[in-house]
Structures are given as structure tokens and as C-alpha cells.
Structure 1
Amino acid sequence: MPELRLIDPDGYTVPDTAQTVSDSAVDETRQHLLTEVAPVHAAEWADFGYDARNYRVT
């Protein structure tokens, strides 16, 4: 089973986003991290220039 994690623009794992998922849940989880979690995290760090479009999932 793959482990997915949301990576911020500086290359760090966003806290509490590393998770092991089934093969069938990879796309759904990736989409959730990029569309739901990244915007919230980026908004918290907007003063430092974070933008949700610059996040990635590995």
C-alpha cells in the first residue's frame, strides 16, 4: 500500500498528512490533499507567500 504525503512549497511534509492508503484510494486521497488540505494550510501561511497551487503529493 502506498504512503502519500502533502508537501509544501519549501519541500516539507505538511503535519498530519502522511497516510498509508489502499491502491484504489490513491487518486481520491491525492485529490483531497490538493483541493481540501493544501488551501487551508496555504491560507495559514499566506503571509510567507504560500500558495496552494505550489503544493504536491508524493
Structure 2
Amino acid sequence: MASKHLPDLGTAKRFADILNAPTAHLYCPEDDLAKLLLELNRLTHQQRVALLKKIRKE
């Protein structure tokens, strides 16, 4: 049986920081969601809030 070796969260965070990606991207099993996370990471906080309001139709 093959075993998986996953880094602890601190190591994953440092790796994600080097890649300029959100930590969640490293754990995302679906490619389309991972790509969305990368795109969302490029937005400012204000832009993400506005997008979330638009998606929720608030």
C-alpha cells in the first residue's frame, strides 16, 4: 500500500507563499477550483468582497 506524505500546515503555507498561491490551492483536488483559487488570489480584498456580493446577488 502506497503512503502519502503531506507537509504540516506551516510548511505548506511557506511553500504556497513562495508560489504566490493560497495554501488552499495546494490541497484542492479539482483543477477548475484550483484555477479559481489562483485567480481569486490575484484580486484585492475589496475586489473579492465585490465579487462575492455579485455572486450572492446582494
Larger Rg: 2
Q: Same fold (TM over 0.5)?
A: no
Higher strand share: 1
Q: Larger RCO: Structure 1 or Structure 2 (Cα < 8 Å, ≥ 6 residues apart)?
A: 1
Task: State the TM-score, normalized to the length of structure 1.
Answer: 0.30
Larger fraction in helix: 2
Normalised to the residue count of structure 2, the TM-score between the two structures is: 0.30
